[in-house]
Amino acid sequence: MPLEEKHIIDFLKNPIIKRQSSELLGHLINRINDLCFKECQVDRITCTLTPMCTRRFLLKLRIKNGLTMEDLPKFCYSVNKGVIERYFRGKTIVYKPFDSYLYLIDFLDIFFHGDYRKLNKYISFKNWDATYKILDDRIKEEEKFRYYRTDNYFLIHYEERLHIIFLNEGYVLCNANRERIEDLELVKAIFKLHAKMYFPEIVIKLIEDKFISIIMKIPYDIVSKITNDYSKIVKNQNKHHPDNYFWNIFPDDLIKLSEFCKMINLHMDNFNDLILTLIIENRDYNKINIKTEDPLKYRDLNEIIKIIDYIYNKFYVIWV
């Protein structure tokens, strides 16, 4: 039987043989370095069109661990930047650059080219007023982005794609999608950013640094229109009618939400408004159907945001 992944994992788990584990990892590091620097990027057509690691995850590994440009396969990084830029500009790409990492200056070069040096300086020195001024001026010129900042993160939502600047680390996660979210501050920031754009009156709170609570209200006016008798629902009814949503879709949405939320609370308040509270916890959770531990990802939050956005804009906001 040949050597398998499991054997290596088990070997590394053994705390007694640290020295050999270190030797083994040394071999692995050498192999990765050879792959990146000697085998892949030296043939640039291969590195560009069919990189030897899936979607350049080895490059991501280096950037996320704080390695500088000197320790990166430079051509590979330049292609990574090129692919992100081409995707942003709607040009042909080999793969969608989801969850790709760039250094801050390169990110700004792509998305805010004219001001990228200034922005890099202001963001690096946390000169927020000057930063906001540049960004707000661009928004006024109808550039399609919004931003939101916390102590550690600067979020930019550009044409339906979320980019997260890690202020202390100096890198940016571009086109966030399947990456694990490891910080509740970031979860809150993502909801806040979307709230700013789509559902400003939804209450989003961080509770004791342990949970995020999202509270939304469905007014009595709407709730009272929902029939109590399912058999009375008219066929071919307007799909935006509360009956259609609350009888046919809402149960499924609740199930979907329960996959990502620690707790969901539904109750009527003193004004007979229906109050929906979502409690989100940043830790591994069990999906009802799949029954496997799966960390919270950016695209999971998108699912929650879609539901909140729909309920808010259909049943909370009174459109004139």
Using CB under 8 A as the binding rule, whether residue 85 contacts another protein is answered as yes
Using CB under 8 A as the binding rule, whether residue 79 contacts another protein is answered as yes
- 278: exposed, middle or buried (Cβ count in 10 Å: 0-12, 13-18, 19+): buried
CA distance 120 to 112: 10
Total residues found in the chain within this entry: 320
When binding is defined by CB under 8 A, the residue of 8, 12, 48, 146 that contacts another protein is: 48
Tokens encoding 67: 């390695």
Using CB under 8 A as the binding rule, whether residue 84 contacts another protein is answered as no
Cβ atoms < 10 Å from Cβ of 165: 22
CB of 14 to another protein, least distance (A): 40
**C-alpha 101 chain-centroid distance:** 13
- 281: exposed, middle or buried (Cβ count in 10 Å: 0-12, 13-18, 19+): middle
CB of 238 to another protein, least distance (A): 36
CA distance 227 to 231: 9
User: In angstroms, how far apart are the furthest CA atoms of the chain?
Assistant: 73
Using CB under 8 A as the binding rule, whether residue 92 contacts another protein is answered as yes
Query: Long-range contacts made by residues 5-8, C-beta under 8 angstroms, separation at least 24?
Result: none
Tokens encoding 44: 């640039």
User: Which one of the spans 12-20, 52-60, 89-97, 226-234 is the region binding another protein (CB under 8 A)?
Assistant: 89-97
User: Which one of the spans 83-91, 176-184, 243-251, 281-289 is the region binding another protein (CB under 8 A)?
Assistant: 83-91
Using CB under 8 A as the binding rule, whether residue 106 contacts another protein is answered as no
Task: Give φ, ψ of 120 to 5 degrees.
Answer: -60, -45
When binding is defined by CB under 8 A, the residue of 25, 28, 67, 94 that contacts another protein is: 94
When binding is defined by CB under 8 A, the residue of 75, 132, 198, 220 that contacts another protein is: 75
When binding is defined by CB under 8 A, the residue of 10, 23, 34, 43 that contacts another protein is: 43
- 31: exposed, middle or buried (Cβ count in 10 Å: 0-12, 13-18, 19+): exposed
Using CB under 8 A as the binding rule, whether residue 138 contacts another protein is answered as no
When binding is defined by CB under 8 A, the residue of 12, 55, 78, 297 that contacts another protein is: 78
Using CB under 8 A as the binding rule, whether residue 186 contacts another protein is answered as no
Using CB under 8 A as the binding rule, whether residue 86 contacts another protein is answered as yes
Q: What string marks each residue from 208 to 247 as x (binds another protein by CB under 8 A) or -?
A: ----------------------------------------
CB of 37 to another protein, least distance (A): 10
**CA dihedral of 182, 194, 161, 129, whole degrees rounded to 10:** -90
- Is the CB of residue 163 less than 8 Å from the CB of residue 172? yes
Using CB under 8 A as the binding rule, whether residue 42 contacts another protein is answered as yes
CA distance 175 to 96: 9
Using CB under 8 A as the binding rule, whether residue 44 contacts another protein is answered as yes
Using CB under 8 A as the binding rule, whether residue 305 contacts another protein is answered as no
Binding site for another protein (CB under 8 A): 42-45, 48-49, 75, 78-79, 82-83, 85-86, 91-94
